[in-house]
Amino acid sequence: MDQIEFNSPGHPGVNALRTSINNQAKAAGVPPCALAAVVANETGGQNILQHGMPPGPGCGVGLCQITSGVDWTHMDQPTYQADGRAWALLDPSSNLYVAAKYYLAPTIFDLLDDREKHPAQYAEFSSDILFFVFAAYNAGTGTVISALRAGHNPDGYTTARYAERAMLFYNEFLTESHEHAK
């Protein structure tokens, strides 16, 4: 996976977060352009609570719209509890780190391991593991694996072809980032 630093002036809302995206992705060991693709796909760089949802369980929080595992004890300050710490999800850097460290990184690991055991099931839909990681970010790792075992495209179980849209952002971000690294 390409670890180039994210830099995409063509997406000013996301690019404004460039330093934090790069720092948090590196800290979690995930490709910065993949984390940027999640931000672009989820909120376009807006640090918001999910539109149309009341604050509370099931409501996406922050740049990466984290929903699973959110502690809503203090409704105006949702957190994510991990490693003995409460991460403030409306803090942009914390939100990016939680998405990268606790969602993307383990999903990449799990799906690379699963693809090694079942390569044909993955090859039918994409050669890029991030396609499946993006689908899992939206629909869950178990859903992706179940879809693959059934011979179905896991993106069919996401919201509005989430993985396909995220891959478009990811590939665009890779191209722009390489161009600006020269």
- SS3 state of residue 118: coil
- The confidence score (pLDDT) of residue 177 equals 98
Percentage of the chain lying above the pLDDT 70 cut: 100
Q: Is residue 157 part of a domain?
A: yes
Task: Give the list of residues 6+ apart from residue 23 with CB closer than 8 angstroms, or none.
Answer: 93
Q: Is residue 6 part of a domain?
A: no
Whether the CA torsion 43, 46, 51, 53 is positive or negative: it is positive
Check: CB of residue 92 under 8 Å from CB of residue 72: no
Q: Is residue 75 part of a domain?
A: yes
Q: Is residue 7 part of a domain?
A: no
The yes-or-no verdict on residue 170 having pLDDT over 90 is yes
The yes-or-no verdict on residue 172 having pLDDT over 90 is yes
Instruction: Give this prediction's pTM.
Output: 0.98
Q: Is residue 4 part of a domain?
A: no
Q: How buried is 4 (Cβ within 10 angstroms: 0-12 exposed, 13-18 middle, 19+ buried)?
A: middle
- What's the domain range around 66? 12-181
Q: Provide mean pLDDT across the span 20-34.
A: 98
The yes-or-no verdict on residue 182 having pLDDT over 90 is no
Q: Is residue 155 part of a domain?
A: yes
Q: Report the domain count for the chain.
A: 1
Work out the angle between the directed axes of helices 162-181 and 32-42 (0-180°, nearest 10): 130
pLDDT tens digits, one per residue of 41-90: 999 999 999 999 999 999 999 999 999 999 999 999 999 999 999 999 99
Rounded CA separation 34/64 (Å): 12
Q: Is residue 23 part of a domain?
A: yes
Averaged pLDDT of the chain: 97
pLDDT tens digits, one per residue of 101-136: 999 999 999 999 999 999 999 999 999 999 999 999
Q: Is residue 81 part of a domain?
A: yes
Q: What CATH code is carried by the domain that includes residue 100?
A: 1.10.530.10
